[in-house]
Amino acid sequence: MSRVGKKPIPVPSGVTVKIEPDRVEVKGPGGTLSQEIKGGVTVSREGDELQVNRPNDSKASRALHGLYRQLIANMVQGVVKPFIKKLDIVGVGYNAAKQGKDLVLKVGFCHPVRLSPPPMIEIEVPGPQLIIIKGPDKQQVGQFAADVRKVRTPDAYKGKGVRYHGEIVRLKAGKAFVGGE
């Protein structure tokens, strides 16, 4: 039995879960999320908990068992408290601003880069060098943060660019000047 898959998922008060044969929908104060369930994996509700079960012990069923259990647990957690990713901008003249719902980055190109977030994602820019991305869907928050980081990944020589908050960038040594003969 999968260690992750056999754990029950606690459902807090204020969260409603609608279980269909091939779909699970979770509603809460943070929004509504749904997940399609494949591979014969079933979800059942037992009181204040959800239990994910698999049809057999095949390798594919075991993999999907743990996967769907964790995806549903992330949905329940996300509608209660949003997932957060923080990004730092490092570099002279590099900054970020919010215009409407869009994020505008000035990171060393001849033009500002404008990024539009997915529907349920919220962006905050408390300072010119800090970006906060929030949302109930963990995958969308992580993907949008990765898309923002990809605009200007940290440089290996000077460390300039967009990086995750707390990310350590190992800098390479530049070419050392050696005197001629």
Q: Is CATH 1.20.1440.130 the classification given to domain 83-164?
A: no
User: pLDDT tier at 4 (50, 70, 90 boundaries)?
Assistant: confident
Q: Is CATH 3.90.930.12 the classification given to domain 9-80?
A: yes
Token pair, residue 64, equals 């999907």
* Domain boundaries, given as residue ranges, for the chain: 9-80, 83-164
Residue 24 has pLDDT above 90, yes or no: yes
Convert the pLDDT of each residue in 103-153 to its tens digit: 999 999 999 999 999 999 999 999 999 999 999 999 999 999 999 999 999
Convert the pLDDT of each residue in 32-79 to its tens digit: 999 999 888 999 998 899 999 998 988 888 889 999 999 999 999 999
Q: Whole-prediction pTM value?
A: 0.89
In this chain, the answer to whether the domains covering 9-80 and 83-164 adopt an identical fold is: yes
In the prediction, which pLDDT does 62 show? 87
Convert the pLDDT of each residue in 151-177 to its tens digit: 999 999 999 999 999 999 999 988 877
Give the 3-state DSSP-derived string for the chain, with helices as H, strands as E and coil as C: CCCCCCCCEECCCCCEEEEECCEEEEEECCEEEEEECCCCCEEEEECCEEEEECCCCCHHHHHHHHHHHHHHHHHHHHHHCCEEEEEEEECCCCEEEEECCEEEEECCCCCCEEECCCCCCEEEEEECCEEEEEECCHHHHHHHHHHHHHHCCCCCCCCCEEEECCCCCCCCCCCCCCCCC
Residue 179 has pLDDT above 80, yes or no: no
In the prediction, which pLDDT does 109 show? 94
**Neighbour tally for 21: CB within 10 Å:** 7
